[in-house]
Amino acid sequence: MVTYSAPLDDMRFLLHEVLNYDNTVANLPGYEDASRDVVDAVLEEGAKFCEKELLPLNLSGDQEGCVLENGVVRTPKGFREAYQHFAEAGWTGMACAPDYGGQGLPKSLHLLLQELICSTNLSFGTYPGLSHGVYNAVVLHGSAAQKERYLPHLTDGSWSGTMCLTEPHCGTDLGLIRTKAEPSGDGYRITGTKIFISAGEHDLTENIVHLVLAKLPDAPPGIRGISLFIVPKFLVNGDGSLGPRNGVSCGALEHKMGIKASATCVMNFDGAEGVLVGEPHKGMRYMFTMMNTARMGVGIQGLGLAEAAYQSAAAYAKDRLQGRALSGAKYPDKAADPIIVHPDVRRMLMTMRALNEGARALALWVGMAEDVAERHEDSAAREAADDLVSLMTPVIKAFLTDAGFEVTNLGMQVFGGHGYIHEWGMEQLVRDARIAMIYEGANGIQALDLVGRKMPLHMGRLLRRFFHPVQAFLEDNQDDPEMAEMVMALAKAFGRLQQATAWIAQQGLSDPEEAGAAATDYLRLFALVALAYMWARMAKASQAQLNGTRPAFHTNKVVLARFFMTRILPESSALFAKIMAGKDTMMAMPQEAF
């Protein structure tokens, strides 16, 4: 069984000592009630729910999976009751507007709740996670009537939502979709098949609201011809009550490697009634609203699983007796020493923890920027924050999911043979983590988005939203002797990132394949520098508190920061060398030789 206790101390440390939540988010219009006391209370209650209700269902849910019976998907035992409790407690509406029955709490706080959910039961988390994405899309792009009809039910959790993009013949290249939308009366008739639809059919809610990409008869070719439609599982009457079943059904359940308690469906639309969202042929732009939210959420999935893996591995390493410490027996009264005395086990555990805590800091920093982008009274501040979110979304999605798989695998390694056995829970974490690198845009696509779209956008303005704070931090701390080690390591890696950025920008102008060949290594280099910046900030905040009320807590932060700078960040040198090697060796082999 997985060992897990919500890392609330680490979350509070980031909010209140590192990222200045009170003066960044709590003072934004509409968030005045989201004080420190409220945040702490919400996190405490969220932790209790996840630990007591979701974690016990994780292993059994994986064993049982979902079942398709007579067109209805049955979720594993206990899921329906847990979802009802989840909705009744108000968690589905935590970050939704009070106008629709929500609590109106910050997105950054919702992000922390998502981590708790993903650590304890990722499969469960896919259901409310997708619903919140649908909520966001309708808020931004739906009509007043659509908002009134759908948002209160998505907020209170009585209805759930999905995003229906992928088709059997196309995934990333959505311009190839064949699903059609024919005008019919006041709406449209949607016909086509979508695959890999998470939460496409289940027994948790009264209704399911599908957001479906389809093409109108007069649609121009490619992605310029895609429109977005709301297609409910059950039609909604004029008075808001549910009517007959719509022409949408689950044709099959996918049998997956992981997240087996999350229903991944083949969805058939047979003349299903739908309504257009926004303007015709603007569907891809609208869907990206949901996808960007989802990509942040998927990054958090990687982090959540990684945290559960670290805590489980650390507990196991302190309990499992094998061999003796190289420097002599540490527990001579026992038959052997616990494996945590061995340097290689320490290497794995420290790597796991340093990646997790750095990733959490980065995600929360960007999550707080989402709040600023939405609520700040100054337009320039909103623009700067939105630029940072846009820039960092592919980095968070790709790196946090890569790291999630890396960390869960390290956790399995710490467990040894027991890690490979299902009942211990570690191999499930590995299997669950693997999909996050693929869905919502495979990580290679995220890297292309970073170098191909985000890097050149607005003449490099987005990049400056990250580069300038890092440069300012280095200048502000260059004369601080206590920060010399951190500053030097960060400065060297940051210099490599700047050089790699300039090289890719120059080479990409004449040969896009050069940028494509460098993209994945560049994104990882970017992420490592971002984590180094976060660790330097955490070290700075901790050093100021070494003589405070929690000296051990803050001392450990400094120790972890040094580990990251000396044991993980040096990878930036190898990444830089690979980027500068260019595309030649990658593209030289003829296609027929593969």
The CATH number of the domain holding residue 471 is 1.20.140.10
- Do 24 and 54 share a domain, yes or no? yes
pLDDT, average across residues 540-563: 97
User: In the chain, how many domains are there?
Assistant: 3
For residues 572 and 80, what is the distance between their CA atoms, to the nearest angstrom?
A: 46
- Do 124 and 179 share a domain, yes or no? no
For residues 140 and 373, what is the distance between their CA atoms, to the nearest angstrom?
A: 14
Beta carbons of 522 and 530 less than 8 angstroms apart: no
For residues 520 and 358, what is the distance between their CA atoms, to the nearest angstrom?
A: 20
Across the chain, what does the average pLDDT equal? 96
Q: In this structure, is residue 1 part of a structural domain?
A: no
Taking only the tens place, the pLDDT of each residue in 206-247 is 999 999 999 999 999 988 999 999 999 999 999 999 999 999
pLDDT, average across residues 19-46: 96
- Do 141 and 185 share a domain, yes or no? no
Pick the closest to residue 119 from 342, 460, 408 (CA basis): 408
Q: In this structure, is residue 447 part of a structural domain?
A: yes
- Do 80 and 167 share a domain, yes or no? no
The CATH number of the domain holding residue 130 is 1.10.540.10
- Do 107 and 218 share a domain, yes or no? no
Q: In this structure, is residue 399 part of a structural domain?
A: yes
The CATH number of the domain holding residue 222 is 2.40.110.20
For residues 320 and 316, what is the distance between their CA atoms, to the nearest angstrom?
A: 6
**Which of 238, 257, 287 is at the close of a domain?**
287
Q: In this structure, is residue 2 part of a structural domain?
A: no
Measured between alpha carbons, how far is residue 492 from residues 221, 281, 511, 569, 571 in Å?
Answer: 47, 47, 28, 10, 12
Place 535 in a pLDDT band, splitting at 50, 70 and 90: very high
- Chain mean position to CA 200: 20
pLDDT the model gives residue 174: 78
For residues 358 and 365, what is the distance between their CA atoms, to the nearest angstrom?
A: 11
- Do 63 and 91 share a domain, yes or no? yes
- Do 59 and 116 share a domain, yes or no? yes
Q: Tokens representing 488?
A: 């030097």
User: What are 242's strand-pairing partners?
Assistant: 236
pLDDT, average across residues 332-352: 98
DSSP strand pairing (72-74 vs 67-69) = antiparallel
**Which of 243, 265, 287 is at the close of a domain?**
287
- Do 124 and 173 share a domain, yes or no? no
Q: In this structure, is residue 35 part of a structural domain?
A: yes
Q: In this structure, is residue 459 part of a structural domain?
A: yes
Q: Tokens representing 412?
A: 């399995």
For residues 258 and 255, what is the distance between their CA atoms, to the nearest angstrom?
A: 9
Taking only the tens place, the pLDDT of each residue in 84-116 is 999 999 999 999 999 999 999 999 999 999 999
CA dihedral of 392, 356, 401, 286, whole degrees rounded to 10: -40
Domain that holds residue 182: 159-287
Beta carbons of 321 and 338 less than 8 angstroms apart: yes
SS3 572: helix
DSSP strand pairing (227-232 vs 264-277) = antiparallel
Taking only the tens place, the pLDDT of each residue in 347-382 is 999 999 999 999 999 999 999 999 999 999 999 999
- 290 pLDDT more than 80: no
- Do 119 and 214 share a domain, yes or no? no
pLDDT the model gives residue 110: 97
**Which of 271, 287, 303 is at the close of a domain?**
287
For residues 557 and 354, what is the distance between their CA atoms, to the nearest angstrom?
A: 9
pLDDT the model gives residue 116: 98
pLDDT, average across residues 426-448: 97
Q: In this structure, is residue 41 part of a structural domain?
A: yes
- 73 pLDDT more than 90: yes
Percent of the chain scoring above 70 in pLDDT: 100
- Do 192 and 56 share a domain, yes or no? no
- Do 132 and 178 share a domain, yes or no? no
Beta carbons of 163 and 130 less than 8 angstroms apart: yes
What residues have CB less than 8 Å from 126, skipping those under 6 apart? 198, 199, 259, 262
For helices 551-563 and 484-510, what crossing angle results, to 10°? Answer: 40
Q: Is the whole-model pTM more than 0.95?
A: yes
Q: In this structure, is residue 473 part of a structural domain?
A: yes
- Do 520 and 564 share a domain, yes or no? yes
Residues recognised as catalytic? 440
- 289 pLDDT more than 80: no
User: What are 188's strand-pairing partners?
Assistant: 183, 274
pLDDT the model gives residue 176: 87
- The vertex-313 CA angle with 309 and 315, nearest 5°, equals 120
